[in-house]
Structure 1
Amino acid sequence: MTTLADPEPGGRPGDVERATALCAELSGRGVHGIVLAYVDTAGIGRVKTVPTARLASAAAWGVGMSPVFDTFLANDSIVSTDVLGSPDGDLRLYPDLDRLVVLSAQPGWAWAPVDRITQEGERHPACSRTFLRRVVADAARDHGITFKAAIEVEWALGQGSAPGDEFVPATSGPAYGAIRQVELSDYIVELLAAFAAQGVDVDQIHPEYAAGQFEISVGALDPVAAADRSVLVRQTILAVSRRHGLRAAFTPAVTAKGVGNGGHVHLSAWHHGVNLHTGGEHRYGMTAAAESFAAGLLAHLPALTAVTAPSPASYLRLKPSQWAGVFTVWGHETREAAVRVITGTAGLSGRAANLEVKPVDLAANPYLALGCLITAGLDGLESSSPLPEEVTGDPARFTAEEAVARGVCRLPVSLEEAVGKFSKDERLRGALGPVLADAVIAVRLGEIAAVAGLDDELVAAAYRWKY
């Protein structure tokens, strides 16, 4: 469950009383501090913390934080827009009490995501969580459509004793290999125990392809809760890794070569409780609305990459033939397709059928990513956009002429190209609003400038431990 109402000075109805009761409960469980968490425009998790005794005050009046963080870069330098990036002003961070959880791997701490409002009590136009809540609420009001979402989390596990910021894999086993699971058995068990204690339902956790890489898949929730869960999952992995003398890297590219870390998004649209991706008369059981939703995603993907792959390091990962989905194609269970249609096992399609969007990594702010993906899909749905021909196999095999004939386009090969596409996408910019859209552009251009002149290895190193 996610609180859908905007925060308000003095607290939303019942919040102060609830926070007071929670304070007593948390104190009785040995919780001394609350982590108030959000994600900035650059995709960096930022926090403020308060003593448990201040939870009711935070629920009533928020906690102060400068709006300058909306234009922070991953290296903590600051860029600016016409309204953001100055030292002036203040915001109030309001915890969502419905999402508050005691942190199993950080004894003495609880965690809650926040929404940000102005001191005057208005929505902060650059709050990405508020943006996603608004997109979800508008879709329900205007179309009767709700969504379920989940974000896969991949990370490379390094030895904590490695010198400096070097990456030395924490396990030597092969991809998807039993050796990795055996070597890090105690670590994985502690992760599973922590997630269970925190109410995170884990579908699977396993060794992945790249050196020292693992992946966790979690249950789907409403989009705001799914984004919250993605942030919480990473907080938990960081904490458990540290307790085991390990270091977790969620960056899109730990090194310049090889397969990077993805953050694939699973998304399904539902109309009055019925999954639109199954039981229909179109391809693979999709309804007409589901096909048009997928078509909208494909049409906006070049611009979306500025949001879903927002780091210079993202473009070290977005390479053909590495299951990163770098062409504007869709396919049924095709892992090279940017949009993969998943029908689910027979008997479970009503619950499991969904779309997987591949060109997404964990440098992305999950609230921005989900909000923009939903916006793109709804654009296709509203215009009844036709879904093009399915592509099977690896799209990289096509000649230039074949690709043009099939309408297959390569996604941007650099962050600069992605920003150019985003700047021209009126639907995405309009949904974000001018303040947040301009912040996205300014931060991306700042990241480009920050690594100007660096070779690929230095770019990978610059972002290795940032996310």
Structure 2
Amino acid sequence: MCTELKSLINDFELSTNPLRDNEFQKIKFIRICWVDLNNKTRCKAPSKSYILDKSNGFEYVTVTNSCMSFPTLTDMIVKNSLPSEDIGEIWLVPDWKTLVILDYLPDTAQVMAYFYQSKKGVIAPALSTSGGPQSRLSKYDQLVPFSLDPRNVLKRAMNDLQVNHGLQLKGSFEEEFYLFPLKPWLEEGMLKPLDSSAFASVYSLDTYNTVLSKITNALEAMNIPIEQILKESGPGQFEITIPYTDILVACDRHKLIHQTVKAVAYQNGFIACFLPKVFANSAGNGCHAHLSLWRDGKNIVPITSSTYSFYPESGFSQDSCRFVAGLLHHAKSLTAIFNPCNNSYRRLTPNSWSGGYIAWGVDNKEVFIRIPSSPSTSVIGNTNFEVKTIDHCSNPYLVMASIIYAGMHGMNDSSIQLPPLTSKNPANFTEEEKKQYLIGYLPSNLTDSLQCLDSDSYLKENLGHDIIKSFITVKKFDLESVKGLTLDDEIKKLIDIY
């Protein structure tokens, strides 16, 4: 049996069964969830009684192998989006450490999962197969992680970072979203915020207090700590931030936050929208990631009194500088993964704080990598870096896996050039200054960014040829589906998804 698969199962079978605890008494269904390449959370939901009544132990559910690569607007098989032409079943195995009761649906719990496939193409047996866990699964010892599973790709990337550099990536996301009253949208197709107040407005927090309180209460009830809530610049736009944690946990939390905000908002007469661009002349929704590198329980991002650094003014250690160099080197390719919708490129414009220039700088919100200054910390340097361009259309597991591999490329290859820091807005640079600071430009549309990704042999090799091929194929199909649509038309098609 696959060692990783056995470990996942044993996490549940060899410990006290959490489904029998008192707090789970009212639970009827357990959603077993995955996140597809278009960042849709999908699930199968066996009943709790079915799971507990399995005399031989519950291990998995089966799902079609096309479930990761459906296009955004419809469930259909896109030609050449699968590793082979064979249509079959794959095994969805719960990661029981992620089990949580949904506060807004008190009879439902959910758990994130990993996909596995038979190396030889053998279809997994039905759940009713007789025999214990060992006897059943030992017949299928060729099980391997499904090559289109982003969560498995991230787990592999995390292991490679640990093995090759002794490092762990930690971080958190900034969750930006709009809230609109539901009734005008359903009756008139109009997004009408309750107010049009500006950034950091107390009035907006007062006006939306009831629904915001219910959202944050639900998150805290599911053990997601709230760091702060903020009124953002757009009408009815808010941001929730949470503390950093191990990056796989951060991605799981990120998806649960997105799901909870949309569900609680709807239950209370609102529609929540995470689309990158909702109004042409108002702030877009970012999904900025704040990240740090750790070794042996210590953040190694800050420079120390005994540490050499390429750019001491960055406050970053040499390893951190090299990691950033890798991100900047692959920035054009990463854009396809970070910004995978046509709507994404309506947000990536100059002077919008979306990080559209390939550069880095301390407290510079116009560049790809921002270094937040840390004046109140006890360390000499700065403690984390922010990737600005990411938006909510992106799959967070694939995003973080690509960041890890791009960063490691910078650490492993000293020939990758690290440009000078800049605190200036590149939009105001002269042509000479742009050359001096090696300022680059992100692709201005999804077609170009997909081409950059397709040409990036390093990322394709490390993330996996299958998943990148499928991603590019599906995204090209999506582009044809929204070709020629106005911003309003895009919103009508995508608002329920994002």
TM over 0.5: yes
* Alignment deviations for residues 96-152 of structure 1 (CA, whole Å, 9 cap, x no partner): 111111111222111211111123532101110000000001111121111111111
Aligned length: 462
Aligned to 2:134: none
1:40 corresponds to 2:36: yes
Residues 225 and 65 from structure 1, CA distance in 2 versus in 1: closer, same or farther, beyond 3 angstroms? same
CA 167–267 in structure 1, closer or farther in 2 if over 3 Å, else same: same
Once the two structures are TM-superposed, the CA of residue 446 in structure 1 deviates from its matched residue by 1.1
**Percent of matched pairs sharing the same residue:** 26
Return the alpha-carbon distance in structure 2 between the equivalents of residues 421 and 59 of structure 1. Answer: 46
The answer for the alignment partner of 2:152 in structure 1 is 130
Distance in 2 between residues matched to 1:178 and 1:286, nearest whole Å: 36
Indicate conservation of the 8 Å contact 2:98/2:111, yes or no. Answer: yes
For 1:115, the equivalent position in structure 2 comes to 114
- Residue 356 of structure 2 corresponds to 326
Relative to structure 1, the CA distance from residue 421 to residue 27 in structure 2 (aligned partners, 3 Å threshold; closer, same or farther) is same
Show the counterpart of 2:178: 156
Verify: 1:397 aligned to 2:393, yes or no: no
One-letter amino acid of the structure 2 residue matched with residue 250 of structure 1: F
Letter in 2 for 1:102: I
Cα distance in 2 for partners of 1:166, 1:39 equals: 29
Query: Residue 34 of structure 1 contacts residue 51 of structure 1 at CA under 8 Å; is this kept in 2?
Result: yes
Q: Distance in 2 between matches of 1:347 and 1:406?
A: 29
Deviates more, 1:43-52 or 1:132-141: 43-52
By how many angstroms is 1:258 displaced? Answer: 2.8
Q: What corresponds to 1:167 in structure 2?
A: 191
Say whether residues 1:182 and 2:206 are aligned partners: yes
Amino acid at match of 1:333: D
Residue in structure 2 matched with residue 286 of structure 1 by the alignment: 316
1:309 aligns with 2:309: no
Contact 2:31 2:46 in 1 (8 A): yes
Q: Which has the larger radius of gyration?
A: 2
Which residue identity is paired with 2:100?
V
Pairing partner for 2:273 from 249, 258, 261: 249
Alpha-carbon distance in structure 2 between the residues aligned to 1:312 and 1:128: 21
For residue 363 of structure 1, give the secondary structure of its aligned residue in structure 2: coil
- Counterpart CA distance in 2 for 1:144 and 1:180 is 45
Q: C-alpha separation between the residues in 2 aligned to 1:94 and 1:232?
A: 18
Give the Cα separation in 1 of the matches to 2:370 and 2:175: 17
Query: Hey, what does 1:259 align to over in structure 2?
Result: 283
Aligned to 2:60: 62
Structure 1 letter corresponding to 2:166: G
Q: Hey, what does 1:16 align to over in structure 2?
A: 13
Deviations 1:60-94 (A, max 9, x none): 43111112122211102432326359682011211
Most deviating of 347-356 and 367-376: 347-356
Report the Cα offset of residue 22 of structure 1: 1.7
Shift of 1:211: 1.6
Q: Is the 8 A contact 1:275 1:351 kept in 2?
A: no
Q: Which residue of 2 aligns with 1:464?
A: 495
- 1:404 Cα deviation after fit: 3.2
Note the C-alpha offset of 1:337: 1.7
- Superposed displacement of residue 350, structure 1: 8.4
Q: How does 1:355-366 map to 2 (within 5 A)?
A: 355-366=385-396
1:349 CA displacement = 4.7
Contact 1:95 1:115 in 2 (8 A): yes
| Structure 2: gaps of 5 or more residues | 118-123, 125-139
Q: 1:102 to 1:77 in 2, by over 3 A?
A: closer
- TM-score between the two structures when normalised by the length of structure 1: 0.93
- Work out whether 1:369 is the aligned partner of 2:399: yes
Deviation at 1:59, TM superposition (A): 7.3
Distance in structure 2 (CA, Å) of the matches to 1:59 and 1:379:
43
Residue identity in the other structure for 1:150:
S
- List alignment gaps of at least 5 residues for structure 1: none
**Correspondent of 1:75 among 73, 76, 83:** 73
User: Which range moves more in the overlay, 115-124 or 134-143?
Assistant: 115-124
Letter in structure 2 aligned against 1:341:
I
Take 2:453 and 2:95, find their aligned partners in 1: how far apart are those partners?
31
CA drift at 1:17: 4.5
Instruction: Compute the displacement of 1:335 (Å).
Output: 1.3
Distance in 2 (CA, whole Å) between partners of 1:395 and 1:130 is: 37
Which amino acid in the other structure matches residue 98 of structure 1? K
Seen in structure 2, the aligned counterparts of structure 1 residues 211 and 202 have a Cα distance that, compared at 3 Å, is same
Aligned residue number for residue 455 of structure 1:
486
Query: Are 2:209 and 1:210 equivalent residues in the alignment?
Result: no
The structure-2 alpha-carbon separation of the partners of 1:276 and 1:65, relative to structure 1 and needing over 3 Å to count, comes to same
Residue in structure 2 matched with residue 239 of structure 1 by the alignment = 263
Q: Could you tell me which amino acid in structure 2 is paired with residue 81 of structure 1?
A: N
Tell me the SS of whatever aligns to 1:13: helix
Give the Cα–Cα distance (whole angstroms) in 2 for the partners of residues 398 and 41 of structure 1. 37
Is 1:438 equivalent to 2:469 in the alignment?
yes
Comparing 428-437 with 412-421, greater Cα deviation is found at: 428-437
> In 2, distance between residues paired with 1:210 and 1:457?
17
Aligned to 1:146: 168
Do 1:68 and 1:84's aligned partners in 2 also have CA atoms closer than 8 Å?
no
Counterpart in 2 of 1:419? 450
**In 1, Cα distance between equivalents of 2:386 and 2:350:** 17
Question: CA separation of 1:54/1:305 partners in 2, compared to 1, >3 Å: closer, same or farther?
Answer: farther
**What is the letter of the counterpart of residue 160 of structure 2?**
D
RMSD in angstroms over aligned alpha carbons? 2.4
